Amino acid sequence: MSRFQALTNAVLDAELDRLRVRLGLEPNQKAELLREMAAIAGWVARQAELGRTIEARRDGESEPLVHPALERLRTPVEQPVGARLALSDAEIRRLAAILDGGFDPPPALRTALANLARADRQPPPLHWPPAA
């Protein structure tokens, strides 16, 4: 919390003020500034959620927008991971082929099943590197 407050008070306030000037707003228009920022950030977040790359382009050059928050949006960490998976038609066709195919487990799966059947199954011993 203290680090967040320090950033807010010192760095972020200055950054927000620079943005206010760039956007042509007066010092008493902080509510408008936040509204415009929220609209821009909302658009960016929606594009990231859709898996789209956000780029700045000019002439032949392009620079992607990279930020950890956008990566989190692209990889929905918080989602309970399952519950309901809606497959596309292409995925469904592959699933159909899998369910319809014969059973030919690879050696690693046979080994895994054999290991699971063993009463004396042991985890591997682990070796940690020495602490730096």
Tell me, what amino acid is at 98?
A: I
Angle in degrees, CA 32, 57, 33, rounded to 5:
5
Q: Does 75 bind other proteins (CB under 8 A)?
A: yes
Question: Are the C-beta atoms of residues 73 and 98 closer than 8 Å to each other?
Answer: no
How are beta strands 55-58 and 61-64 bridged, if at all?
A: antiparallel
Q: Does 89 bind other proteins (CB under 8 A)?
A: yes
> How many Cα neighbours within 13 Å face the side chain of 16?
19
Report, in Å, the least distance between residue 74 CB and other proteins: 9
Measured from the CB atom, the residue of 31 and 117 that comes closer to other proteins is 117
Q: For residues 1 and 44, what is the distance between their CA atoms, to the nearest angstrom?
A: 26
128 is a contact residue toward other proteins (CB under 8 A): yes
Q: Does 91 bind other proteins (CB under 8 A)?
A: yes
Size of site (CB under 8 A) for other proteins: 44
Binding site for other proteins (CB under 8 A): 68, 71-72, 75, 77-78, 80-96, 98-100, 103, 105-106, 108-109, 112-113, 115-117, 122-129
